[in-house]
Amino acid sequence: MLNGGNLLFNRESLKPEKVIAGKLLADLIVSSYNKMGCDALNIGAYDLSLGVDFLRKKEKAAKFPFLSANIMDKHGKPVFTPSIVKKINGVKVGIFGICSDKLKLNKIPGGNKLKIANALAKAEETALQLQQQGADYIILLTTLNIRQCRRLGQRDMPIDLIVGSSKRNRISLPILVDDTYIVHVERGGKSVGRLDVSFLGPAGVQALSPAVRYKGKAVGDNLFLLNHFHPLKLDIPDHPEIAPMVKKVEISLSRLRQVKATQSMTIAGGGEKVKMAPGNSYVFAEACNKCHSLQFQRWQKTAHAKAYTSLIKNDKHFDEECISCHALGYSQAGGFTDLHQVGEFANVQCESCHGPGRLHVKSEGKTKLNRDLANGKMCLKCHIEERSPDFDLETYFHNVCGAAAMPKK
């Protein structure tokens, strides 16, 4: 079990108020990976968000090595283990890690003590060393983008498999470049990839069953690869040991957010400013019901009408990253910022999409609402890939707003 990097945090640097929560999540991830039997983690930019010293402490708690062949100290010595060789089913497997040499050291605590060696040169050097150590199969774990991974495959290096974890990656299907197999999985922990590697005998691929032979791919004269891609859907049962660990951390995070919300109460209308016409404000869904009863009844049957309740059930109602998409007007002009006083702003309401409606109601519809649903752009502010992997604009539009509001083709 391997990870290409950018595992522990979701950005290059954490705001001070996010540090405690970040540490809790990092502890949970390392503990979970220990339970799952991880073999190696490559260090990426996001893993260094709290600095090298913090990461070295996490490595001591991990039952698997943190790898990087090109993160060096000022004396040119590797900060982490560059590579390992493991014997699996009689095969010597060499594994090493490379991070992008575009890593922004000025964003990393203590980054002035580090330097990043050229990624491509260090990859070639380390791969050759593993080959000299007798590795039968060599795996690179990396945060390099897909273009750089392709370049590695084209340089005739002894690298059999590249497991990528680029933060900009949108590719899940494997790619074969010469004899190097490149695989990525979707970002955000939404999927797991498995690669079955078969070393072929004299009979070659003909020795394999037809069911396997036609699904996989022969690489060179000796290897046969069969890739599996497993989306982590909600109906997959939770691990009996890891699930309680996750729940415990979620409770701790919820308490932290409640404390933060108490300490940071501010006047409504803070945060990102959105222009609002003089005299306009929010009137809430019940006001819309007077003239648009059919639409109101349709809305009441949707998940939008219960969006805030779903946060309460999952102890997420003090999470700023969640509340903005599950309530109306958070940190907007005329809205609210006190997470203890959500009140009538709860749930995704008509004005979440159409904009504030007081002038529209006061003029009995003569003043038009300032947002048009026809292009669906407002949906994509919340229904992004990482939050709504199954989101389909046309289907959602039809279910929530009806055929009249669907985008025109």
Q: pLDDT at position 96, please?
A: 97
- Which DSSP string corresponds to 294-333? HHHHHHHTSGGGGHHHHHHHTT-TT-HHHHHHHBSSBTST
The one-letter amino acid at 354? H
Locate all alpha helices (DSSP H) within 199-277, ordered by sequence: 210-213, 242-263
Instruction: Report whether 180 contacts 138 (CB < 8 A).
Output: no
φ, ψ of residue 30 to 5 degrees: the values are: -65, -45
Distance (Å, whole) CA 367 – CA 316? 37
H or E segment and range at residue 22: helix 19-36
> Cα–Cα–Cα angle for 150, 153, 158, nearest 5°?
155
Q: pLDDT at position 265, please?
A: 42
**CATH code 3.40.190.10 for 267-371:** no
Q: Looking at domain 2-189, which CATH architecture does it have?
A: 4-Layer Sandwich (3.60)
Q: Where in the chain is the domain with CATH 1.10.1130.10?
A: 267-371
Distance (Å, whole) CA 163 – CA 44? 13
Closest by Cα among 126, 69, 74, 125 to 100: 69
Distance (Å, whole) CA 152 – CA 28? 34
Q: pLDDT at position 135, please?
A: 96
Distance (Å, whole) CA 158 – CA 155? 9
The residues that bridge with 138 in the sheet, in sequence order, are: 94
**pLDDT tens-place string over residues 48-70:** 999 999 999 999 999 999 999 99
Instruction: Write out residues in the chain with pLDDT < 70, as ranges.
Output: 166-172, 186-188, 257-275, 370-375, 385-386, 389, 402-409
Helix (H, G, I), strand (E, B) or coil at 86: strand
Tokens coding 48 = 């260094």
Distance (Å, whole) CA 45 – CA 281? 43
**pLDDT tens-place string over residues 218-259:** 888 888 998 888 878 777 888 999 999 998 888 888 777 666
Distance (Å, whole) CA 12 – CA 45? 6
Closest by Cα among 147, 141, 111, 126 to 38: 141
Q: pLDDT at position 271, please?
A: 40
Q: pLDDT at position 94, please?
A: 97
Average of per-residue pLDDT values in the chain:
85
> Cα–Cα–Cα angle for 9, 17, 352, nearest 5°?
85
Strands (E), 117-222: 137-142, 161-164, 175-177, 180-184, 191-199, 217-219
Tokens coding 15 = 């705001």
Q: pLDDT at position 61, please?
A: 94
Q: pLDDT at position 371, please?
A: 64
Q: Where in the chain is the domain with CATH 3.60.21.10?
A: 2-189
Q: pLDDT at position 145, please?
A: 87
